[in-house]
């Protein structure tokens, strides 16, 4: 019985990822979850009390996995500059991944405090790692620079998601060049 419940919970989370990646936070509704999973709407409420609860669980499940992939890429990089490049590249490589799209949709949406806290916790380690790399490169405001760098990554991710005219590899290379050398490329 517990295994069956866990499978249904997994199916609901997977349906939530798809809905978020296709239509953003507005698309994540209980009727849509019921339709995607073949469960009755009342059954969806047995697993999750609210949309916020679905989002919070996705944050708890997906953010640490996503952050761990980026951290692993950064840890494998031998120099501070290579760590920054790995930070940018690994996030942009994840853009095609439904989990990443769901994470982006969640980040862009209105979140309750619990979900925001889970995201902050997962992001905290990444921001600390990127801050250390920026500091090692002589950046006097590593925390601020880390936040601004994330803005470049987010803008590049949006261009890739939109299917912009530029090739995703060109977008990624340009984002890396901006991260490492500013607008001079």
What Cα–Cα distance (Å) separates residue 160 from each residue in 96, 103, 104? 9, 15, 13
What pLDDT shows up at residue 105?
Answer: 66
Q: Express as a percent the part of the chain with pLDDT over 70.
A: 87
CATH number at residue 153: 1.10.357.10
Q: Which of 48, 67, 85 is the last residue of a domain?
A: 48
> Is 114:56 a contact under the CB 8 Å cutoff?
yes
Task: Return the axis-axis angle of helices 51-76 and 80-93, rounded to nearest 10°.
Answer: 140
In this prediction, residues 167-173 reach a mean pLDDT of 94
Q: Which domain holds residue 64?
A: 55-184
pLDDT of 1 > 80? The answer is no
CATH number at residue 4: 1.10.10.60
What pLDDT shows up at residue 26?
Answer: 83
What pLDDT shows up at residue 21?
Answer: 80
Distance CA 106, CA 109 (A): 5
- When divided into structural domains, the chain yields a total of 2
CB burial of 92-114 (b: ≥16 within 10 Å; e: otherwise) equals bbbbeeebbbbbbbbbeeebeee
Same domain as 94, residue 110: yes
What pLDDT shows up at residue 35?
Answer: 95
pLDDT in tens, 15-36: 998 888 888 778 889 999 999 9
pLDDT in tens, 97-154: 767 667 666 666 656 677 677 667 767 777 788 999 999 999 999 989 998 898 898 8
Q: What are phi and psi of 24, to 5 degrees?
A: 75, -170
What Cα–Cα distance (Å) separates residue 30 from each residue in 21, 23, 38, 103, 108? 16, 14, 12, 19, 20
Confidence of residue 77 (pLDDT cuts 50, 70, 90): very high
Distance CA 2, CA 4 (A): 5
């Amino acid at each position: 019985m517990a295994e069956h419940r866990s499978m249904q919970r997994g199916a609901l989370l997977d349906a939530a990822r798809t809905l978020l990646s296709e239509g953003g936070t507005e698309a994540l509704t209980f009727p849509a979850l019921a339709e995607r999973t073949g469960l009755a709407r009342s059954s969806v409420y047995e697993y999750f009390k609210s949309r916020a609860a679905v989002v919070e669980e996705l944050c708890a499940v997906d953010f640490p996995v996503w952050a761990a992939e980026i951290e692993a890429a950064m840890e494998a990089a031998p120099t501070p500059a290579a760590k920054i490049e790995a930070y940018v590249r690994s996030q942009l490589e994840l853009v095609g991944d439904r989990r990443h799209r769901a994470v982006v949709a969640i980040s862009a949406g209105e979140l309750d405090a619990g979900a925001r806290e889970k995201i902050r916790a997962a992001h905290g380690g990444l921001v600390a790692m990127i801050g250390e790399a920026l500091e090692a490169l002589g950046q006097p405001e590593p925390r601020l620079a880390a936040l601004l760098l994330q803005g470049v990554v987010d803008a590049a991710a949006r261009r890739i998601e939109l299917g912009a005219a530029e090739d995703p590899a060109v977008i990624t290379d340009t984002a890396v060049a901006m991260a490492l050398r500013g607008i001079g490329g």
